Chain A
Amino acid sequence: QSALTQPASVSGSPGQSITISCTGTSSDVGGYNYVSWYQQHPGKAPKLMIYEVSNRPSGVSNRFSGSKSGNTASLTISGLQAEDEADYYCSSYTSRVVFGGGTKLTVL
């Protein structure tokens, strides 16, 4: 059982927006602004998409955005594209680095 809770799957049509939630506790997500999001395509290494709740690394599309409210962080992808179909993982920190269980995004 993962320390952070994510929905197992989400889906959306091209051009739409989707949001993936990541729920933790006041000891991790709620306690620090250290939430990251990673995208992983099959057979590939994860890629950093969002760090410190809402910051995008250089080169990541501005269609990806992050936010946090209380103990829940969210990743929003706007203008869905076929290439966004992947697994997404959130991460935070308590006394250790913790990941969510992952969310499979399907672009219909």
Chain B
Amino acid sequence: QLQLQESGPGLVKPSETLSLTCTVSGGSISSSSYYWGWIRQPPGKGLEWIGSIYYSGSTYYNPSLKSRVTISVDTSKNQFSLKLSSVTAADTAVYYCARHKSLTTIDYWGQGTLVTVSS
């Protein structure tokens, strides 16, 4: 059974860079035809797609966040990562890592990790 687990700081200061890692177990991140992505959910609000990386390394970002987002993959560790720069309080959210069968079919989700942006 595929499992995804987010890790990283729960508190980030304004203007700094948020960095999260997703560790995949029970399957290879190099498996063909899958995307690996990040979705966030501000407290009490809806879901927002941040971006995804295809197994081949191609990246797809939400245009509203593109200038601040980098998603990368480390196949040797079976992990992929998110970096979001110049954060503000508006970036406070639960961040989920996930596997996509296609860009709109997210079939496996991590449990989510709350990241708070505050000084």
Contact = CB atoms under 8 A, between A and B. Distances in A.
Interface of A: 2, 34-36, 38, 45-48, 51-52, 57, 89, 91-93, 95-102
B13 interface: no
Contact of A48 (B47, B60, B106, B110): B106
Contacts of B60: 96
7 contacts: A36-B104, A36-B106, A51-B104, A57-B107, A91-B47, A93-B103, A102-B47
A99 B49 contact: yes
Among A36, A47, A52, A101: residue with most chain B CB under 10 A: A36
Interface string B43-71: 00011110010000000111100000000
B80 interface: no
Nearest to B48: A99
A38 B96 CA distance: 14
B104 A96 contact: no
A99 B101 contact: no
Nearest to B4: A45
A91 to B, nearest CB: 5
A93 B103 CA distance: 7
Interface residues of B, number: 22
Interface in B5-56: 37, 46-49, 52
Given A34-B103, A99-B46, A45 B62 contact: no
| A-B pairs with lowest CB-CB distance, top 6 | A97-B49, A45-B109, A51-B105, A34-B104, A99-B47, A102-B46
A65 B109 CA distance: 21
A46 to B, nearest CB: 6
A66 B104 CA distance: 15
B23 to A, nearest CB: 15
A46 B104 contact: no
Contacts of B111: 45
B109 A47 contact: yes
Nearest to A95: B63
Nearest to A58: B107
